[in-house]
Structure formats: structure tokens, C-alpha cells
A and B are shown apart, each in its own frame.
Chain A
């Protein structure tokens, strides 16, 4: 079991650019959530995807959007990047049935906006 995988591992962008981050969930998991973790802080919930639709959303602007594919993998898109978007972006997966109350995280994508 490969667990949750994310790509790329690191990314450097400049203000105003757009970025796409990718995630493959753990085998058997069909729900994918995205989090932003700023330095020295806990992860902050961005949104959750299930059955290719956004099921819940945290307090993030519309510049943050996502997509889930039929194979349950997911993308996070961020438009018009700001310096404050520099963070570790984490993907987490969970099963719809069974232990959905626990989530398993990927290693994250570290985004630096200059």
C-alpha cells in the first residue's frame, strides 16, 4: 500500500501566478481533503471532495479550487498567488464507510511564493 502520495514535493512560484498540486489517495479511500499548514501552525482545512464534488469547504477564498477524478485522485488549484500562500499543502484521504473519522495524510507539497 503506497499510502497517500502528492506531487510535486516542492514548488517555487511568483506572486500572481497559478499553481496545481496533485494527490492520490490511499488504496480503498474515496474521500480527499486538502489542508494548508503555515509554518508553526496546525493544518487548516481548505475543502473536501467526494464523488467528484466539493462536499465541504473551509474559510478559504475562491482563488482556491479543486477537482476530484473518477479514480479518486484530486487536484488543488490556487490562482493569483499571494506571498501569504506560502505553506505546506497537505492532502488527506479517508474512506466513506468505516473509519471516516480518521484521515491519513500525504507528505505534502511545500509551496514558496516569491
Chain B
């Protein structure tokens, strides 16, 4: 079993839909939870990060962390075609004096007009 599990998709939704992206994990030592967006043939771009459990909102994006269930989510409201990308979840805990994120394999999102 991988430390971080993420459905690769693709997930195809119409413009304006609410998108839900999810990851599960097995390492209870993870403290920080991140979501990255990666456009084709580009490097990952940090969207949001949260510490421990709870919700965090930034514009159309909401990140949720449920440490008791080892489950994290990213919601995208009013999705746009420009949101079409691969979304990577990542999580980290303090190891050897630094934080090294472990990534999921990414979910491919397609928002069609």
C-alpha cells in the first residue's frame, strides 16, 4: 500500500460545476497537507496548504483535512476551463530536521465549456 493514494482520473466536469478531489494516506505523522496544480509539461504550483485538521478557503478553492480518517479533500467551486490540469496532493511531517513531502500520483481534471 502506498503512503498516499490518489485516484488518477480523469475527472471530466462541465464548466461551473463543483469539483471534489481527494486523497487518503496511511502515515499518521503527516502534519502538513498541500495541494499543487500542474499544467501539462510544467512544474507543480502550490495552491494551498493546511496544518493538521480543519478547513481552509482561498477564493474558489477549499481544502479540508480529516486526520482521524486520514483523508484530505480539495473543492473547486464554479470550475473554469482554465482549471483543467493535474492536481497533486502532498503531505509531510518533520523527518531528520526537515519536511519532505510525499506526493500522490495526481488527479487529471478536465473542465469542458
A interface residue numbers (CB < 8 A to B): 4, 6, 31, 33, 40-45, 48, 50, 55-56, 58, 88, 90, 94, 100-108, 110
Contacts and interface: CB of A to CB of B under 8 A. Distances in A.
A90 B99 contact: no
Contact of A55 (B31, B97, B104): B97
Contacts of B4: 42
Contacts of B44: 43, 90, 105
B100 A56 contact: yes
B105 A41 contact: yes
Interface in B59-102: 88, 90, 92, 95-102
Given A40-B105, A41-B105, A100 B98 contact: yes
Contact of B92 (A101, A107, A110): A101
Contacts of B17: none
A106 B43 contact: yes
A36 B91 CA distance: 17
B41 A42 contact: no
